Amino acid sequence: MTSDEGTPVRVHIIGAGLIGTSIGVGLRALGWPTTISDASPKAERLARGIGAGEALKETDAPDLVIVAVPPAATSAQVLHALERWPNAVVTDVASIKAPLAAAVEHAGLASHYVGSHPMAGREVSGAAAAQGDLFRARPWVLCPDGADPGAVALVRRTAEALGADVVVTNASAHDAAVARVSHAPQVAASAVAAALASLSLSDLTLAGQGLRDVTRIAASEPTMWADIARLNEANLKETIAGIVDDLARVRDADDIGEALMDLVERGRREATRIPGKHGGRRRDWTPVTVIVPDEPGQLLRLLTDVSALGINVEDLAIEHSPQQPVGLVELSVDPARAGDLSTSLAERGWEVAS
Amino acid sequence: MTSDEGTPVRVHIIGAGLIGTSIGVGLRALGWPTTISDASPKAERLARGIGAGEALKETDAPDLVIVAVPPAATSAQVLHALERWPNAVVTDVASIKAPLAAAVEHAGLASHYVGSHPMAGREVSGAAAAQGDLFRARPWVLCPDGADPGAVALVRRTAEALGADVVVTNASAHDAAVARVSHAPQVAASAVAAALASLSLSDLTLAGQGLRDVTRIAASEPTMWADIARLNEANLKETIAGIVDDLARVRDADDIGEALMDLVERGRREATRIPGKHGGRRRDWTPVTVIVPDEPGQLLRLLTDVSALGINVEDLAIEHSPQQPVGLVELSVDPARAGDLSTSLAERGWEVAS
C-alpha cells in the first residue's frame, strides 16, 4: 500500500482550490506523478495549466488520494475515494477532523484513512493563488485514529516532502484544540469588531494597535466560518460558553475592577503558554521603537544600521501614524542589547521612541 | 492665562512615571521651563536626574499643570492643582475622561481644565523608560468640555510641541469610544486566552498567527485594567453586554452556522472602518510571503533585494516556524507590483510562499 521511502508516490488530488492545487504544484516539483480532478471542469483545467497534475485516467491506481474540497463536502468525497480505490491511502485537508473519523469508522474503512489538516495561512483562495511552497514551515496536523501505521507513514512522508512541520494528535483532541486556538478567537474577534457599529469614524481615530491586532481576523470569509462552526459545533459552543461566562461575570460584577483583574490575570497566565519562536515559550525580547520617515528605503536603511551594530532583529512590527508621514518600527531584540541599540541608533540620527 | 504662540510655556508636571517623565524630557528638549514633582522623593529625583524638569519652588507660577498620576488618583490631583494655581491651565493624561470632567464641573473649575489622553503605546512603565519622543506621531485626545478656548489652545500647543496627532472630542464620547476600541478588546482578548487553560502544550502547537494576534494584549497588567474598568464601568459593561449577547446567540443557536455567518459578516463590515495608514481606511496591500532563514542578516538581505527592485514595503510581519529554523516574512506591497516582486525574488533565490 505505501511506497518505499525515496520512491515517488502516485498521488491523486480531488479538488482544485488553493490547497489542492498548491499540493499538486509542490509534489510535481518533487517529481511525484500527480493527477488532479475537480467537479468544475474549468477549475480542473486551470489547475492542470498551472502544473498541479495531469488528468486522472480511468485506469489510474493512486497510492494516495488527497481530498481537498470544502469542509462540508469532504466526508462524501473521502468515503467515495476509499470505496473506489481500496488499495490507496486516503487523506483530506479539512479543518475539522472528528466528523470524518466517525464517518470512516462507521463505514469500516478507517484503516486506510488518515485525517490531516495543513495549517497554511492564506487570506486568498482559488487555484490562481496556488504555490508549491504554501506548506513550508507551517504545521500539518495528522490524526491517525484508526489508520494503519503504513498509511500514517505515507501521509507523513507527503506532508514532510512539502516542507511542513508534522504534528500528530487524534481527531477529537484536534477539534477540541482548534475550537480554542482558532474558531473561538475568530468568533470573539468578530464580536469585538461588531461592537464598533455604534462609533463614528471620528471615534474610531482613537483605535490603537491593540484593536487592530484583535480584529485582524475579523476580515475573514463568513460562509467558510459557517461551515466550520457547523462541523465543530459542540466544541465551539462549549468554548464560547466559557468565554460568555467569563465576560458575563465582568458585566454583572459588583466590583468590576476585581472581576476584570481576575480575568486579565488568568488570560495573562495562559497567553505565556502560546508557542512562539521555535515552538518554545515566547521569549521576552525587548522592543526598541524607532520613528522612521514613511518613504521608500528608510526601513532598509534602519536595518542596515542595526545590522552594522551586530544586533539580531528577532521580530519587527510597523505601525503607521494616522496623521503624519512616519511609521513607528518596533524592533524586538535581546534584552541585553536593547540599551546599546537605542543609544547607537540615536547617535546615527534615528529618532528612538523607546 | 495662555502664553503667546512661540513663547515657552512654564509647565509643572505632577507624577514622575513613564508619561510624566517623558513629557518633561520632551518639553525640556524644546527649551520650555519645566518642573516635575512626585509623591515619591526617589521617583522625583530620578526624573530630575533624567532631565525631565527642575524641582518645583513654592513661588513658581506655572502656565500649565499636567497631572500624570495613575487614573484612580488623577481626580484629586487635578482639583488640588486647580485650587493651588487658579491662573494656570490644568490637564491630565488619564485614559478615562468623564469622571474628571464631572468632578471639575461640580467644583466649578471647568474653565481652566482640559482633559487629555495621550495614546502612547508602551508595555513598560516608570521614569527609567521615559523618552521625549514617546508621543511623536501618536494620537493625543483633547476633551475641552467646559474649558475656555485659550486653555484648550495651550494644551493643544503642548501636545503638538511633543509631536502628537491631536484629536478633539468630549469626555463622554471619548469614554464611550475607548470602551469599544480599547477596553472591551482587552477584556475579550483576556477571555480568549483564559479559554486556553484546558489545552496541553502539545494542543497549543496548533496555534496560528490568528490566536497570537488576538491575544497579544492579553499580556497586559491586571491592576491597571482594574482601575480603568472601575472608572469606565458603565460604558464597559454596556459594551461587554453587547458582545455577550452576540456570543450567547452563537452558543444558543439552533443553526450555529447561520448565527456565526451573521456575526462574522457584521464584524467584517465594522473592521473595514478601523483607520489604518494615514488615518484613511485600511489600504488593500497585497501580501508576498517569503521564507527566510532564521539567522542574522537575512531580513536585511531580503529588504535590500526588495529595495533594488524599487518596490516600497508598506508593511512587514514576521512569523517564526515552530519547528524549522526559518521565518515567514510577509511583505505588504502595492497590488500592482506583487507579481513582479514574487517573480524577481524567486529569481534571486528566495523561497516565495505566496
B328 touches chain A (CB under 8 A): yes
Q: Give A33 or A121, the one with higher predicted confidence.
A: A33
Render pLDDT for B149-186 as a digit per residue (tens, 0 to 9). Answer: 999 999 999 999 999 989 999 999 999 999 999 999 99
> Is residue A264 in some structural domain?
no
pLDDT band at residue B5, thresholds of 50, 70 and 90?
Answer: low
B113 lies in the same domain as B208:
no
> Is residue A112 in some structural domain?
yes
- B268 CB neighbours in chain A (<8 A) are 190, 193, 218-220, 222
Chain centroid, CA B319 distance in Å: 23
A348 lies in the same domain as A245:
no
The whole-number pLDDT of residue A128 equals 58
A183 lies in the same domain as A52:
no
Measured distance CA(A175)–CA(A170) in Å, rounded: 9
The whole-number pLDDT of residue B4 equals 58
Pair A342, A354: CB distance under 8 Å: yes
Q: Which helix (H) or strand (E) holds A331?
A: strand A326-333
pLDDT band at residue B278, thresholds of 50, 70 and 90?
Answer: very low
**Nearest-by-Cβ selection for B260 from A195, A229, A297:** A229
Domain interval for residue A301? 286-352
> Is residue A2 in some structural domain?
no
A235 touches chain B (CB under 8 A): no
Amino acid at B138: R
How many angstroms separate the CA of residue B285 from the nearest CA in chain A?
Answer: 12
pLDDT band at residue A34, thresholds of 50, 70 and 90?
Answer: very high
pLDDT band at residue A62, thresholds of 50, 70 and 90?
Answer: very high
Q: Give B242 or B202, the one with higher predicted confidence.
A: B242
Amino acid at A265: E
Q: Is the dihedral of CA A332, A333, A338, A340 positive or negative?
A: negative
Q: Residue A159 is placed in which grid cell?
A: 506532508
For the cut 90, the answer to whether the pLDDT of residue A196 exceeds it is: yes
B215 lies in the same domain as B327:
no
The whole-number pLDDT of residue B294 equals 72
Q: Which of A63, A60, A64 is nearest to A20 (CA)?
A: A64
How many angstroms separate the CA of residue A294 from the nearest CA in chain B?
Answer: 9
The whole-number pLDDT of residue B280 equals 39
The whole-number pLDDT of residue A4 equals 58
> Is residue B2 in some structural domain?
no
| Least confident stretch, B81-95, B269-283, B320-334 | B269-283
How many angstroms separate the CA of residue B333 from the nearest CA in chain A?
Answer: 11
Q: Burial of A51 by CB count in 10 Å (0-12 exposed, 13-18 middle, 19+ buried)?
A: middle
Question: Do A352 and B133 make contact, defined as CB atoms within 8 angstroms?
Answer: yes
A304 touches chain B (CB under 8 A): yes
> Is residue B125 in some structural domain?
yes
Kindly give the pairing relationship between strand A165-168 and strand A139-143.
Answer: parallel
- A257 CB neighbours in chain B (<8 A) are 226-227, 229-230
A231 lies in the same domain as A316:
no
**Nearest-by-Cβ selection for A215 from B169, B211, B271:** B271
Q: Give B336 or A328, the one with higher predicted confidence.
A: B336
Q: Residue B23 is placed in which grid cell?
A: 513629557
B52 lies in the same domain as B128:
yes
The whole-number pLDDT of residue B264 equals 96
pLDDT above 90 covers what percent of chain B? Answer: 59
B158 lies in the same domain as B212:
no
CA nearest to A304 within chain B: B300
Measured distance CA(A97)–CA(A115) in Å, rounded: 6
End-to-end Cα separation, chain A, in angstroms: 60
Measured distance CA(B12)–CA(B66) in Å, rounded: 6
- Rounded to the nearest integer, the mean pLDDT of chain B is 88
Residue corresponding to grid cell 462574522: B264
| Least confident stretch, A26-30, A179-183, B278-282, B312-316 | B278-282
The whole-number pLDDT of residue A144 equals 96
How many angstroms separate the CA of residue A58 from the nearest CA in chain B?
Answer: 33
B268 touches chain A (CB under 8 A): yes
| Least confident stretch, A70-84, A170-184, A243-257, A274-288 | A274-288
Render pLDDT for B47-67 as a digit per residue (tens, 0 to 9). Answer: 898 889 999 999 999 999 999
The whole-number pLDDT of residue A138 equals 83
Which of A195, A230, A251 terminates a domain? The answer is A251
- B322 CB neighbours in chain A (<8 A) are 139, 165, 275, 278-279
Q: Give A318 or B161, the one with higher predicted confidence.
A: B161
Render pLDDT for A267-289 as a digit per residue (tens, 0 to 9). Answer: 999 999 988 643 333 456 788 88
Render pLDDT for B83-112 as a digit per residue (tens, 0 to 9). Answer: 999 999 999 999 999 999 999 999 999 999
Question: Do B272 and A219 make contact, defined as CB atoms within 8 angstroms?
Answer: yes
CA nearest to A230 within chain B: B257
For the cut 80, the answer to whether the pLDDT of residue A51 exceeds it is: yes
- For B8, phi then psi, to 5°, come to -60, 145
Render pLDDT for B290-302 as a digit per residue (tens, 0 to 9). Answer: 888 877 678 888 8
The whole-number pLDDT of residue A330 equals 83
- B332 CB neighbours in chain A (<8 A) are none
Length of chain A: 354
> Is residue A219 in some structural domain?
yes
Render pLDDT for B204-252 as a digit per residue (tens, 0 to 9). Answer: 988 887 898 899 899 888 988 999 999 999 999 999 999 999 999 999 9
A76 lies in the same domain as A134:
yes
The number of domains in chain A is 3
Interface confidence, given as ipTM, is 0.79
Render pLDDT for A81-137 as a digit per residue (tens, 0 to 9). Answer: 999 999 999 999 999 999 999 999 999 999 999 999 998 755 445 555 566 778 888
The whole-number pLDDT of residue B270 equals 96
Whichever domain contains B293, its CATH number is: 3.30.70.260
- B350 CB neighbours in chain A (<8 A) are none
Question: Which distant-in-sequence residues (6+ apart) come within 8 Å of B248 by Cβ?
Answer: A244
Q: Which of B96, B67, B76 is nearest to B228 (CA)?
A: B96
DSSP A154-204: HHHHHHHHTT-EEEE--HHHHHHHHIIIIIHHHHHHHHHHHGGGG--TTGG
> Is residue A266 in some structural domain?
no
The whole-number pLDDT of residue B307 equals 80
CA nearest to B197 within chain A: A270
Q: Which of A175, A345, A270, A204 is nearest to B174 (CA)?
A: A204
CA nearest to A265 within chain B: B222
Which of B146, B169, B192 terminates a domain? The answer is B169
How many angstroms separate the CA of residue B57 from the nearest CA in chain A?
Answer: 30
Strand order in the sheet with B165-168: B34-37, B11-14, B64-67, B89-92, B113-118, B139-143, B165-168
The whole-number pLDDT of residue B226 equals 93
Question: Do B181 and A206 make contact, defined as CB atoms within 8 angstroms?
Answer: yes
Q: Give B347 or B191, the one with higher predicted confidence.
A: B191
Which of A113, A144, A169 terminates a domain? The answer is A169
**Nearest-by-Cβ selection for B320 from A211, A229, A278:** A278
The whole-number pLDDT of residue A280 equals 39
Find the mean pLDDT for residues B127-138: 72
Question: Do B207 and A275 make contact, defined as CB atoms within 8 angstroms?
Answer: yes
Mutation pick from B200, B247, B249 vs chain A, by most beta carbons of A within 10 Å, is B247
**Strand-pair partners of A352:** A290
> Is residue A81 in some structural domain?
yes
CA nearest to B332 within chain A: A318
A81 lies in the same domain as A28:
yes
For the cut 80, the answer to whether the pLDDT of residue A297 exceeds it is: no
**Nearest-by-Cβ selection for A189 from B139, B267, B316:** B267
Strand order in the sheet with B286-293: B315-320, B326-333, B286-293, B351-352
A234 touches chain B (CB under 8 A): no
Find the mean pLDDT for residues B13-17: 95
The whole-number pLDDT of residue A123 equals 44
Kindly give the pairing relationship between strand B34-37 and strand B11-14.
Answer: parallel
Residue window 139-198, chain A: list those with CB within 8 Å of chain B: 139, 141, 163, 165, 167, 169, 173-174, 176-178, 180-182, 184-198
Q: Which of B232, B230, B240 is nearest to B97 (CA)?
A: B232
CA nearest to B293 within chain A: A137
3-state secondary structure chain B: CCCCCCCCCCEEEECCCHHHHHHHHHHHHCCCCEEEECCCHHHHHHHHHHCCCECCCCCCCCCEEEECCCHHHHHHHHHHHHHHCCCCEEEECCCCCHHHHHHHHHCCCHHHEEEEEECCCCCCCCHHHCCCCCCCCCEEEEECCCCCHHHHHHHHHHHHHCCCEEEECCHHHHHHHHHHHHHHHHHHHHHHHHHHHHCCCCHHHHCCHHHHHHHHHHHCCHHHHHHHHHHCHHHHHHHHHHHHHHHHHHHHCCCHHHHHHHHHHHHHHHHCCCECHHHCECCCCEEEEEEEECCCCHHHHHHHHHHHCCCCCCEEEEEECCCCCEEEEEEEECHHHHHHHHHHHHHCCCEECC
3-state secondary structure B69-110: CCHHHHHHHHHHHHHHCCCCEEEECCCCCHHHHHHHHHCCCH
- A163 CB neighbours in chain B (<8 A) are 324
A126 lies in the same domain as A70:
yes
A44 lies in the same domain as A184:
no
Q: Give A202 or A3, the one with higher predicted confidence.
A: A202
The whole-number pLDDT of residue A1 equals 43
**Nearest-by-Cβ selection for B213 from A213, A262, A287:** A213
Inter-helix orientation angle B222-231/B233-252, to 10°: 100
Whichever domain contains A210, its CATH number is: 1.10.3660.10
Question: Do B260 and A169 make contact, defined as CB atoms within 8 angstroms?
Answer: no
Pair A334, A312: CB distance under 8 Å: yes
- Rounded to the nearest integer, the mean pLDDT of chain A is 88
B121 touches chain A (CB under 8 A): yes
B164 lies in the same domain as B15:
yes
Measured distance CA(A115)–CA(B260) in Å, rounded: 25
Question: Do B217 and A214 make contact, defined as CB atoms within 8 angstroms?
Answer: yes
